[in-house]
Amino acid sequence: MLSSLTKRLSAEFLGTFWLVFGGCGSAVMAAAFPHVGIGLLGVALAFGLTVMTMAFAIGHISGCHLNPAVTVGLAVGRRFPWNNVVAYIVVQVLGAMAAAAVLYGIASGAPDFAIGGFAANGFAEHSPGHYSMMSAIIAEGVLTFMFLMIILGATDKRAPAGFAPIAIGLGLTLIHLIGIPVTNLSVNPARSTGPAMIVGGWALEQLWLFWVVPIAGAAVAGLAYSWLAAEERPAAKSVRATA
């Protein structure tokens, strides 16, 4: 019989596969076939829909992190055990790499296929808008911070029950609308690693930013939400001594 951890890891692999296959797939196919015309809004919505659908599908099994930065942020916020962090990150990266490989197998079947950026994340000349490295650091850090704040708040036991996947999915859509022009948007080291392994070269050279900055932003969010949402203990009543 499969252990509970094995089932959770399997769910994380499946969920991260779907995130990268659906989100990056929409970007790759839109680039390869511009007449489809889904554009920036379509790609942003695709990423949001992958997370929302998986949150409903596997959230009750693994928590539906799908993202090493989310896993670290939840651990810092004391919502996830540190002893499971490495295992979650490993399967998330494997799921992302598997999705990128499958996506490449499909996309490369087109007669005029060119690898191009293959939805990889980048800055400077590899930024869609040619934004600088500093712009990329600020965008990835702030947007990952806000994404974790949405996740931590929406999944708080005091939040309205059952709506967390919707809030998180729409939050990720909004974040992509802001960040795609800057870096093609990561906020997720696993999502960045999958396409980078296919593209190689510059994508692997710039990959460090899309690991370090999102994880740092998520960790800060874990600390910030723990402080912001801490429930105040009622003041102890003083007891008057009686003669």
pLDDT tens for each residue of 139-159: 999 999 999 999 999 999 999
The distance between the two most distant Cα atoms of the chain, rounded to a whole number of Å, is 96
- Taking the C-alpha atoms of residue 191 and residue 10, their distance in angstroms, rounded to an integer, is 17
User: Is the pLDDT confidence value at 211 over 50?
Assistant: yes
Whether 240 maps to a domain, the answer reads no
Asked if pLDDT for residue 242 goes beyond 50, the answer is: no
**For the chain, first and last CA: distance in Å?**
68
- The pTM assigned to this predicted structure is 0.92
Distance (Å) of CA 104 to CA 16, 109, 119, 195:
16, 8, 11, 9
234 assigned to some structural domain: no
Considering the chain, what percentage of its residues have pLDDT values greater than 90?
83
Domain of 141 in residue numbering reads as 4-111+119-228
Whether residue 37 is contained in a domain is answered as: yes
Asked whether 36 and 27 are in contact (CB, 8 A), the reply is no
Q: Which residue has the tokens 């998180």?
A: 168
The reply to whether 48 falls in a domain is: yes
pLDDT band at 243 (very low <50, low <70, confident <90, very high): very low
Q: How far apart are CA 201 and CA 223, in angstroms?
A: 35
Answer whether residue 237 is part of any domain.
no
Query: Domain of 97: which CATH number?
Result: 1.20.1080.10
* Model pLDDT, residue 239: 46
| Domain total of the chain | 1
Would you say residue 233 lies in a domain?
no
